[in-house]
Chains A and B, each alone.
Chain A
Amino acid sequence: MASVGSSRGKAQAPLLSFASVGKRRREGERESTVLEDVSFELRPGSALGIYGQRRSGKSTLLRLAVGLELAQEGSVLFEGRALAGMSSGERARLLRGPIAFLSGDGWLPSPGETVMDHVAMSAGSAGLSLREARRRALAALDRAGVAGVSAEEMTVSLAPDTRARVMLARALVREPLMLAVDEPAPLPALLERERYCALLREVARERSIALLMASEELSALQGIASLASLSAGELCSTQVQGTVVEFPRRRAAAIEAP
């Protein structure tokens, strides 16, 4: 099993763990395997980057990690609790608190909403006063590198780079324990993209937020201490001992046959 995190002192309990996770999806008549026998652990404050091409199962893996979907096989545990055993309400609360999820299609701006509203509303749902929510929102926007001027801008008209940073600010304001990022860099300019990826790594490090990041570009994952590759639903990580990576169990039977 891949285990990611610092080995200082006594072993820390994993924040997130996948144990032999499998996920299948119906596509019309056929059922296809999206993830097969995926196991890894993410310790508090550590980082794991997952490289994979399109349709390799990255997004599904992240959606399982944040509790938006449930696995059919194996178990996904967050802070030692099985996500499958929670009610949908409990899982939704996780996503408003200790788990932050950034994905390209997670951007739903409302008409007439300013950047400040967008970020402060996220803090406000945690039961803070409006004033405190605004104060936290400003601090988060500042850390995400969104200049003060843009705080009053309308969310619908933001440039891609600013939008990505506003999404990050919205995630940070809830002080999450884990940040899951599906494709960190859909930004057109190379430099903007690199700066944004560097920001994600720095913020996660300075706040001890565990970072789980998937990308179809290896370079977007640079600087992340531990990398894995996902192909056809099969996860391969540098943490696996030995050189022989076995095919998942069900496929093995076919291979051994002469």
Chain B
Amino acid sequence: MVVAAEGNTGTAKWIRGRSAHLRGALLGLVLERPSHGGELANRMAMRLGETWRVDSNDVYRLLQNLMDEGLVEVREEPRRDKRPGTRIVYHPTEMTSAALTRWIETLLPRETFRLGLHAKLAVAREQDVPGLRSALAQHRRECLELAQMMCPGDGEPGSWGALFMDCTRDGIHQMLQTELDWVNRTLRRIEEYAATAA
């Protein structure tokens, strides 16, 4: 997955793979509460869980990137523990909220497995429900389209030649099915939440 960083920095910066998801999640965390870098890294690790293996170096690098784009700004603030010196606290700018909304409702090039959606859910605000629904529905559609494209093999069923292809197809179907079930359940959860909250 490749994301062209938005903003007016002139040169396009390209962020690939997992970093694009972490970058989006950072926007959400900074909006929730301005924090210093270490705290943001901790909150990110707590929120996304062990599987993401969030590295604080990545977080600092992405914060720098967001700063260049004008999506976060830094302020020096006195330390809370009354020790001398100041610390750098990251704050949202007036562009941050819109950037978060855009990230949540946008699915970039096709992935069979949408790890990015997990990151989106982790930092979404209630106002992001329409964007989340749209992103989830788009992913569901893509899963169905991918399943439609999977053609049964030409080989004689049960032959050695067909075995490998059968196993691979089976794996992909299983993965798509898991994704579909997860998307459907997630949409239902959001819907049930909205129904009880109303």
| Chain A interface residues toward B at CB < 8 A | 51, 53, 191, 194-195, 198, 217-219, 221-229, 231-232, 236-238, 240, 243-245, 247, 251, 253-255, 257
Contact of B157 among A191, A223, A251 (CB under 8 A): A191
Note all chain A residues with C-beta closer than 8 A to B130: 255
| Contact of A194 with B191 at beta-carbon distance under 8 Å, contacts A218-B147, A218-B176 already known | no
Contact partner of B187 among A226, A227, A231, CB < 8 A?
A231
> Roughly how many angstroms separate A52 CA and B133 CA in the complex, as a whole number?
19
Tell yes or no: B62 within 8 A of A by CB: no
How far does the alpha carbon of A191 sit from the alpha carbon of B152 in the complex, in Å? Answer: 13
**Complex alpha-carbon distance, A107 and B137, angstroms:** 38
- Chain B contacts of A237 at CB under 8 A? 144
Q: How far is the CB of B4 from chain A (nearest CB, A)?
A: 20
* CB–CB A198/B147 < 8 A: no
Provide the residues of chain B in CB contact with A221, threshold 8 Å: 147
- Enumerate chain B interface residues (CB-CB to A < 8 A): 129-130, 133-134, 137-138, 140-141, 144-145, 147-148, 150-152, 157-158, 166, 169-170, 173-174, 176-177, 180-181, 184-185, 187-188, 191, 194-195, 197-198
Contact between B174 and A229, CB atoms less than 8 A apart: no
Q: Which of A191, A194, A219, A236 has the most CB of B within 10 A?
A: A219
Chain A-chain B contacts (Cβ-Cβ < 8 Å), number:
94
- Residues of chain B within 8 A (CB-CB) of A240 are 141
Query: If A218-B180, A255-B129 touch, does A238 touch B151 (CB 8 Å cutoff)?
Result: no
Q: How far is the CB of A59 from chain B (nearest CB, A)?
A: 17
Would you call B152 and A254 a contact (CB within 8 A)? no
Chain A residues with CB below 8 A from B187, complex form:
231
- Set of chain B residues within 8 Å of A218, measured between Cβ atoms: 147, 173-174, 176-177, 180
Query: Is the Cβ of A219 less than 8 Å from the Cβ of B173?
Result: yes
Q: Establish whether residues A194 and B151, one from each chain, have CB atoms under 8 Å apart when the complex forms.
A: no
- Selected contact of A51 from candidates B137, B145, B180, CB within 8 Å: B180
